[in-house]
């Protein structure tokens, strides 16, 4: 069994116009929603062995805030450069390259590709994921190479709005 958590980064700030898209930080709501979703993952007994994040500041910050809530060492977050600007197909390839000994991982990325990626794998339709939204999928297979919609079960789809 493999469990994949797919998360859209939390709400980012547009306050600093001089920053590139890559360097935008989280805004106040994002800094609240990311740990909230980490707490919800903990409440759902998520035991992550790997966190992969886009290199964008807002994604890394989201991953770090979630990791804290799960007692996952933020230094162990793997920044996957190819996740920034990746298509849904490219995100699938990144997931399929996860180490064989990892049974549970979180991928933190960007919309629209992150929602498309979730829909590629989910047996049930996922609407366009809001910021900090999380999709949890369990796959009946032994290798990440074998993850696909046909062997997936949607465990949950959760958003910060569900907890306010």
Residue 100 and residue 123: Cα distance in Å, rounded? 23
Tens digits of residue pLDDT in 18-66: 767 788 889 999 999 999 999 999 999 999 999 999 999 999 999 999 9
| pLDDT mean across residues, the chain | 95
**CATH number of the CATH domain containing 86:** 3.40.50.1240
The strand pairing partners of 136, in sequence order, are: 5, 156
pLDDT on residue 121:
98
pLDDT on residue 46:
95
Residue 46 and residue 154: Cα distance in Å, rounded? 14
Under 8 Å between Cβ of 133 and 117: no
The rounded percent of the chain whose pLDDT value lies above 70 is 99
Tell me how many domains the chain contains.
1
Supply angle C-alpha 53, 122, 22, rounded to 5. Answer: 25
Tens digits of residue pLDDT in 72-83: 999 999 999 999
Query: Cβ neighbours of residue 89 under 8 Å, at least 6 residues apart?
Result: 120
Q: What is the pTM of this model?
A: 0.96
> Which residues span the domain enclosing 63?
2-163
| DSSP H helical ranges for the chain | 28-43, 57-69, 88-96, 113-121
For the chain, the first-to-last Cα distance in angstroms comes to 32
Residue 11, phi then psi, degrees to nearest 5: -60, 130
Tens digits of residue pLDDT in 89-142: 999 999 999 999 999 999 999 999 999 999 999 999 998 999 999 999 999 999
């Amino acid at each position: 069994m493999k469990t994949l958590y797919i998360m859209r980064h939390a709400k980012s700030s547009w306050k600093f116009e001089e920053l590139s898209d890559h360097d935008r930080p989280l805004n106040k709501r994002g800094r609240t929603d990311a740990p909230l979703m980490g707490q919800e993952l903990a409440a759902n007994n998520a035991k992550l062995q790997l966190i992969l994040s886009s290199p964008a500041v807002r994604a890394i910050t989201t991953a770090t805030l979630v990791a804290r809530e799960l007692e996952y060492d933020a230094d162990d977050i793997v920044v996957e450069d190819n996740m920034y600007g990746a298509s849904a197909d490219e995100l699938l390839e990144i997931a399929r390259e996860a180490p064989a000994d990892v049974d549970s991982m979180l991928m933190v990325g960007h919309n629209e590709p992150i929602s498309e990626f979730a829909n590629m794998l989910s047996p049930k339709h996922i609407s366009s994921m809001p910021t900090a939204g999380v999709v949890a999928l369990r796959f009946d297979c032994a290798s990440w190479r074998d993850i696909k919609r046909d062997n997936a079960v949607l465990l949950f789809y959760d958003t910060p709005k569900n907890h306010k």
